[in-house]
A = this chain, B = another copy of it.
Amino acid sequence: MQLLHTTDEDFAKKFDRIVRDRRESDVQVGRDVATIINEVRERGDEALVDYTARFDGHGLGEDRDWQISAEECRAAHEALDPALRDALELAAVRIRAYHEGQLPADRDYTDEIGMRLGARWSAVDAAGLYVPGGRAAYPSSLLMNAIPAKVAGVERLVVTTPTPKGEVNPLVLAAAHIAGVDEIWRVGGAQAIAALAHGTKRIAKVDVIAGPGNAWVAEAKRQLYGVVGIDMVAGPSEILVIADQDNDPEWIAADLLSQAEHDPTSQSILITDSGSLARQVEDAVDLALMKLPTAKTAQASWDAHGLIVVVDSLDQAPALSDRLAAEHVELMVDDPQALFDRLRHAGSVFLGRHTPEAVGDYIAGPNHVLPTGRRARFASGLSVLDFMKRTSFIDASKAALAAIGPAAVRLAEAEGLPAHALSISTRLK
């Protein structure tokens, strides 16, 4: 953990270094992934059989080896502890309600020259969701990715997930049942992304691929971007807590650690105007780490990337926060709205002392798939728009074309595109 004060002589330089630090492992997987994609494209299901045997120790033979049935998902849902099932269903209801409010409105109007203009939104036909296997298989993540697709109106929602040695996570199956996933394939890694993008005999191709994954999955999505749409390039996640002195240090410590426990590359940052709170939080983190079952990961993250910045005044916080463009920003102050009004770049903002990030991770409603690694400068969280596209339209009357056609002819001629000009002028004769 690094402790900085804005009055430190070299603060600007040190803060700049933190902003630039990508925290991303530059694993050289590009060539391996290109090979896998090519194999799947050429050999289809056979390549999937080979890779799944090699990487997951799972044999794809019979139909039931390939897919997890809707019946299995329903059974997993029914077998859940009722309190946990209620919690999952409450989360689904709230996520659905929030995302229904994102559905975009079509446009259709006639302007002053009598030209009808507009745009119409529609869902993609099919979407693929990657769900990691093993430790990172989170039912909350399935809900957050699947529900926006279904709210958007996607008719065919396909999950691919590795099932190492055949093992599945019943919580994820239950979430798939709740979200209304249409197909689940027992295939993982770059080979799953390749199958979703190009299609095989068994797995029909999709139009958009979303969902988190390891470096191979992320690179496969990047390489296939353009063949299909993808949600985003994800990186290590981060939390930034902006807090005044009137806070319980244990609350802040828990919030910082909730990010740190995800991964050693996660980053937890506190900006405060109170030197004494800074020290108390530091102690509270150390204390909490002694009892935390995920302490090994959380400690590694906190040691390598943890940061506390003591500012003279919280007035300085928005500018620092915008440079970090953090995935999650908590505003633990009396008037969080005033600070929020001054923020420009953040994935999601948590206002007030009773809004820990974790409530947004699970159940508040907004999506927890958010831009990481300073990408909130230009990217947004996952939404129904990621599963939709817009078709613009133009309907010109003869009079409307007569009104503006001659100007278009002039522009086409100036650009050296005579057939463009002709297509208008021949109608103006």
Residues of A within 8 A of B (CB): 83-84, 86-88, 90-91, 94, 97-98, 101-102, 104, 107, 109, 111, 115-117, 119, 122, 124-125, 135, 138-140, 171, 207-208, 222, 225-226, 228-229, 232-233, 235, 248, 250-251, 254-255, 257-258, 260-262, 288, 292-294, 298, 336, 340, 343-367, 370-371, 375-381, 383, 385, 389-398, 400-401, 404-408, 410-412, 414-424, 426-427
**Nearest residue, chain B, Cβ from A399:** B354
Pairwise interchain contact B362-A412, C-beta atoms closer than 8 A: yes
**B376 touching A389, Cβ below 8 Å:** yes
Which residues of B sit under 8 angstroms from A225, Cβ to Cβ? 222, 225, 233
Contact A423 B255 (CB under 8 A): yes
* A393-B229 contact in complex given A87-B407, A101-B107, C-beta closer than 8 Å: no
Contact of A418 among B88, B293, B383, B398 (CB under 8 A): B293
Name the distance in Å between A92's Cβ and chain B's nearest Cβ.
11
If A355-B394, A358-B424, A391-B348 touch, whether A294 touches B417 (CB-CB below 8 Å) is yes
Residues of chain B within 8 A of A356, CB atoms compared: 401, 423-424, 427
19 A-B pairs with CB atoms under 8 Å apart are A88-B411, A125-B345, A140-B411, A171-B415, A207-B377, A207-B378, A225-B225, A225-B233, A254-B423, A257-B419, A258-B422, A261-B417, A262-B417, A298-B419, A340-B393, A359-B396, A378-B389, A379-B389, A380-B390
The 8 closest A-B pairs by CB, nearest first: A226-B233, A229-B378, A87-B407, A351-B395, A366-B392, A257-B419, A254-B423, A380-B390
The dominant DSSP class at the A interface is mixed
CB of B119 within 8 A of CB of A393, answer no
| Set of chain B residues within 8 Å of A355, measured between Cβ atoms | 394-396, 401
Q: How far is the CB of A167 from chain B (nearest CB, A)?
A: 15
The answer to whether B393 and A116 have CB atoms under 8 Å apart is no
- Chain B residues with Cβ below 8 Å from A208 are 378
When distances are taken between beta carbons in the complex, the residues of chain B under 8 Å from A389 are 345, 371, 376-380
- Whether B125 contacts A396 by the Cβ 8 Å rule is no
Cα A107 to Cα B98 in complex, Å, equals 10
* A225-B233, A390-B381 known; A365-B117 Cβ under 8 A: yes
Residue in contact with A378 in the complex, picked from B124, B139, B391, CB distance below 8 Å: B124
In the complex, the answer to whether B97 meets A363 with C-beta atoms within 8 Å is no
Kindly provide the distance from the CB of A176 to the nearest chain B CB, expressed in whole angstroms: 15
Provide the bound-state CA to CA distance between A86 and B412, in Å: 14
Residue among B117, B124, B345, B417 making CB contact with A377, cutoff 8 Å? B124
Across the interface, A392 reaches (CB within 8 A) one of B232, B348, B354, B396, namely B348
For A260, the chain B residues whose CB sits under 8 A away are 419
Chain B residue nearest to A124 (CB atoms) is B378
| A392 to B104 Cα, complex, angstroms | 16
On whether the beta carbons of B366 and A119 are closer than 8 Å, the reply is yes
Residues of B within 8 A of A398 (CB): 354
CB distance B419 to A254 under 8 Å? yes
A414 adjacent to B139 (CB under 8 Å): yes
CB-defined contacts of A119 to chain B, threshold 8 Å: 102, 366
